[in-house]
Structure formats: C-alpha cells, structure tokens
Amino acid sequence: MTRPSLALKIAALGGLAFLHVPLGFILLYCFTTEERSYAFPPPGFTLKWFGVVWGRADIWAAVGLSLQVACLATAIALVLGTLAAGALARARFFGREPVSLLFVLPIALPGIVTGIALRQAFGLMDMPFSFWTIVLGHATFCIVVVYNNAVARLRRLSPSLIEASMDLGADAFQTFRLVILPNVGTALLAGGMLAFALSFDEVIVTTFTAGQQSTLPIWMLSELIRPRQRPVTNVVAVLVIAVTFLPILAAYYLTREGEAVAGSGK
Amino acid sequence: MSLAIGLPAPREGLRRRLSDVLVRRRGLLLLLMLVPPLLWLGVVYLGSLFVFLAQSIFSIDEFSGTIVREPTLATLAELFSPANFDILLRTVAISAVVTLLCAVIGFPVAHYAARHAGPRAKAGFYLAVMMPLWSSYLVKVYGWKLLLAKEGAIGWFASHLGLGGALAWWLDLPVVGGPSLSVSYTGMVLVFTYLWLPFMILPVQAALERVPGSLIEAAGDLGASPGVAFRSVILPLAMPGVVAGAIFTFSLTLGDYIVPQIIGTSALVLGQAVYTLQGTAGNIPLAAAFSLVPILVMALFLTLAKKMGAFDAL
C-alpha cells in the first residue's frame, strides 16, 4: 500500500460522489410537498407519502411478485450456473471454447434481443405469459452471473486439494461436500446475490416475457411514463435501497472471509 | 493403491461405486454436469435466438403487413437506408462515448480501492460501488430525471453558482445540446454512464488487485518513476479488466431502449427502433435485422476481448 496522490484521491472520491448524489436526491424528494413537478428546491416537506405507500395494494403485489421471481430465478441459476462452472473450470475438451462463450452470451447480448427471442419462442411453444415465463426469462441471464463467480473461484482452487482429499480416502461426494463446497460457497453466495439483484431489477426482458402481471420494475416504468404521485415512486425507491443494503453488507463480509480461506489453499 | 494396505478398508456400497465411476470416467461426469445448463442455454435460448434472427431473411408484405416467408436480402439491405443507418451510427457512437466515460471515471475509483485503500476503506469502497449497482435501474433513471429537469437541481445549482451561462452555452451546442438537459444527448450519455459505472469499476478493481506489488517495486527499483510504472506496468495489466468492464457498458448501452425513451432526444436509437418494429409496427423481419447489428458488434468485441484475456478478469 502506497500513498495516493492528491489528484487520484479527488478523482476517486469524485467518482463515488457521482454514484451517490442522484440517490441522495431521490431521498430528498420523498419528503417534498410538490407532486407534479421536479421543482428544486422542494417547496415544503412532509411525511405523508410514506403513509400513502403503505396503503397502496398495487405496490405490495408488485413487490411480492418480484421477490418470488427473483428467488426462483436465482435458485435455477445457482444450480445450472454451478454445474456449468464445474464442468468448464478446468476440463479441456473439444468444443470447450464455444460452450464457455455460450455461458456469457445472455449478458453479452442486448436484453431486448433476448427478450424478443424468448417472447417469440414462448409464442411458438404455445406457452401463455405467466409467472413462469418471467422466471425462465430471468434465469437465462442469472445463470451467467453465477457461472462467472463460480468459475473464477474454481480456477483459483488448487486441484491438489481435491487430489489430497481423494488420496485420504474421501469419495467424490465427500470431496465435493467437504473440500469443494466450503471453498466455493462464498463465491456462490456472492453470485447468487448478484443474480437476485439482477432479477429483482430487470425490466427489459420482463416487458417481453410478462403478461398482465407487473413486477416492481414494471410498476415503476409505468409510473415513470405516466406519473401519478411522483413522491410515491421516491418512497418505494428508498425502501428498496434500504432493504437491499443489509444483504450486500452480509455478502461482502462472507466473501471476504472466503478469500482468505481460498488464499491459504494456494 | 498398494500403499493403502495398512489402512482400514474404504467404505463400500452403492455411493462408493457411483463415486468411483464418476472419478474414473471424467467424461461421464463432465457430460452429466454440462447437459442441464446446455439444455437450457444451448437448446432453448440459442434456439429461440436463432428462430428470431433467422427471420431477418424474410420480408414483410407492405399491404397486408404479414411476413413473407421467402428468403430475401431486401430486409437486410434496408438497414443501409440513410434513416436506418443513422440510427445504427448514433447508437454505436453513444455506446462508445459512454464506455470511454465509464473507463475514465471508473479507473481512479478502482485504482484507489485496489491499491491504496486499507481494509476498512476498501470495505467502504466496495459497498459504495455495490449500493448504486443494487438500487433499481428505473429509480436511478428517475433520480436523473429529477436532476436534469429544467426546473430541477442541476439547473438551480448552475444558476446559483453563476454557471447558468455555461449551461445555456452547452445546451446551445449543435449535437450535444437541446432544449433542456433531460431532452439532450448530454443527459442521455450522463445517465448511461451513471448506470453502468459500477460494471466498469468492479472488473477493473479485480484486475488491479491481481497485479503483484513486487512488480511495481521491481519497476521502481529499475528506475521507473511512479508515472512510468503506472503506464508501463499497471495500465497494461489492468487492460483486461477495462475490456471486461467495456463488454458490459457497451452492450448494455447498445440494447437499452428505456433511457432514451425517458431521457433523450426524439431521434431513435437502436433499442427503440427494435422495440417499435416488433411492437406497434409488427415488422419482425426488420426488427431481427436490426438486432443482428449489436450481435455482430458484440461478437467482434468479444473476440478482441478474448484475445486480451478479459474473461479472466470478470
């Protein structure tokens, strides 16, 4: 660790400020008494929007749907992404390159292409748009995040650890449970959280794969295009930020301890 | 195995036998692990992509509005009509500017967090980058709408800090300007940069953290000034991270149709064109043709990225 120059310090803090100032303004506008324009500074302050949000059933329905979709999509992504990462982390076989490219494709391609393609495929398969089509759409790109996290950790996991475990008499399942899983567990957790966040937030693919149901992002999009009570959107936004802050904190501390374990294995 | 004679016999049973088969026959294990994800991504996802994109060789009957299922290159040629080609150029230019801005703003943050921050500050940086990443995409767009609106905060601060003239001058400029920040390219690029910045910071930071400190010390010992060491050691080693981040920033900007719809000029970008074509216009063939462009651009990008080892920095 060396001493940073003043310019670097300012640039780094400036970058962070850039990331946070708009969020601060969202918080500020939660309390504004003005509901039709974005006038700055707000003409007055009130707490009534929190009460309004509490009473709005449409918001809670959207939150519930988003949570369910994100949980299921993350669960599917965790299973499929981990399998893919396990197969591709070290093995060398014919066609490995195109297959590993395939596993980053859903993120590398624009969401709108994925969205329309899936929409048409669901149409061809005569699948009505439902909760499940939303989940399938989300799982497609969530796999990528889990895969990326798991594959990076698996590559750093020394193969001699696995060999040692086998030499000491553990079978493949014991090795997986006692050696591999503890080493990649935190990476999976981090990947899962990222997948959850992506799904909870996704709007582009969802507009194509959702029927009449609205997830929280879809609800927000409709509020953005046809605003009714602008501060209500602010309150919802702040609640979402507040609710997601704790899992990030937890994920961070879990991954950090995991890094130390993985490092000692090298 | 002869060494194991003195040890207690390993547990026998179905599980053990299954385990032995899996360990001995690596190919089978690999196959079992690859089949489920490949069934989803390789068959369903790739299949639906193919079915959608293949329609770009069909055309649309102008009178009935139905799809004519006869191979033709006319739809692809339509992309090069002046109006459509403008859309493509505009979108690629915006994505390039956004990527560049993300790299310029993100690099110092990543560099500070990776090489100068102590454990506590590092935790702070990480959370400070993850928090905006986790907050809802639309809410962030909305936050910028608040800031950029004519009556909004940026205008207010500009006029109270005596910068009202500068803002007006900027808005009068031909391409980047507009009636207000929230209906200009400047606003659109700012919002995109803001949205995708964490996607740039994280891989760059990961790449920088992997640069061994001994390399930099060696550069110093060999007489390189900190500036030279930065340019000839740190920057080349961080490039895979920048490219990995650019994959996200570029691709995400290429396909977005929501930001330009909420903040931006009336001129269409690629995502909006595809959205209108597949929706109200009902012209799936042309929508597919348009969708081929970002895919080709990203294919080129990914090939280059792979050469630079960017995937190891993800």
Give pLDDT tens digits for A174-210.
Answer: 888 888 888 888 888 888 887 888 888 888 889 888 8
- Answer whether B155 sits within 8 Å of A40, measured CB to CB: yes
Residue of B nearest to A9 (CA): B112
Q: Is A248 on the interface with B (CB under 8 A)?
A: yes
- Answer whether B116 sits within 8 Å of A2, measured CB to CB: yes
Residue of B nearest to A243 (CA): B135
Q: Is A256 on the interface with B (CB under 8 A)?
A: yes
Say yes or no to pLDDT of B192 above 90: yes
- Answer whether A220 sits within 8 Å of B138, measured CB to CB: yes
CB atoms within 10 A of CB B152: 22
Contact A216, B136 (CB under 8 A): yes
> Which of A21, A28, A29, A109 to mutate: most B Cβ within 10 Å?
A109
- Answer whether B298 sits within 8 Å of A16, measured CB to CB: no
In words, the CATH class of domain A61-263 is mainly alpha
- Answer whether B251 sits within 8 Å of A107, measured CB to CB: yes
Say yes or no to pLDDT of B4 above 50: no
CA–CA separation, A194 and B285 (whole Å): 35
Q: Is A27 on the interface with B (CB under 8 A)?
A: no
- Alpha carbon of residue B7 to chain centroid: 55
Contact A194, A149 (CB under 8 A): yes
More confident residue, A124 or B195: B195
Contacts of A38 in chain B (CB under 8 A): 145-146, 149, 151-152
Distances (CA, A) of A53 to A22, A69, A197, A229, A230: 21, 22, 22, 10, 11
- Answer whether A37 sits within 8 Å of B149, measured CB to CB: yes
- Alpha carbon of residue B92 to chain centroid: 13
Per-residue pLDDT of A18-48, as tens digits, reads: 888 888 888 888 888 877 777 778 787 888 8
pLDDT of residue A264: 34
Per-residue pLDDT of B134-149, as tens digits, reads: 777 888 888 888 888 8
Q: Phi and psi dihedrals of A32, rounded to 5?
A: -75, 150
Per-residue pLDDT, averaged over B221-250, amounts to: 86
Contacts of A91 in chain B (CB under 8 A): 26, 30
Q: Is A246 on the interface with B (CB under 8 A)?
A: no
Closest CA of chain A from B117, distance in Å: 7
Q: Which of B51, B275, B287 sits opposite A121 (nearest CB)?
A: B51
CA–CA separation, B54 and B51 (whole Å): 5
Rg (CA), chain A: 22
Residue of B nearest to A76 (CA): B37
Complex-level ipTM: 0.77
- Answer whether B139 sits within 8 Å of A124, measured CB to CB: no
- Answer whether B135 sits within 8 Å of A203, measured CB to CB: no
Residue type for position B230? F
Residue of B nearest to A8 (CA): B108
- Answer whether A1 sits within 8 Å of B118, measured CB to CB: yes
Q: Which of B19, B113, B291 sits opposite A173 (nearest CB)?
A: B19
Per-residue pLDDT of B252-280, as tens digits, reads: 898 888 899 888 888 888 888 888 888 87
E strands, chain B, where? 59-60, 67-68
Residue of A nearest to B117 (CA): A1
Q: Is A233 on the interface with B (CB under 8 A)?
A: yes
CA–CA separation, B286 and B52 (whole Å): 11
User: To the nearest whole percent, how much of chain B has pLDDT over 90?
Assistant: 14
> Which of B53, B126, B135, B195 to mutate: most A Cβ within 10 Å?
B135
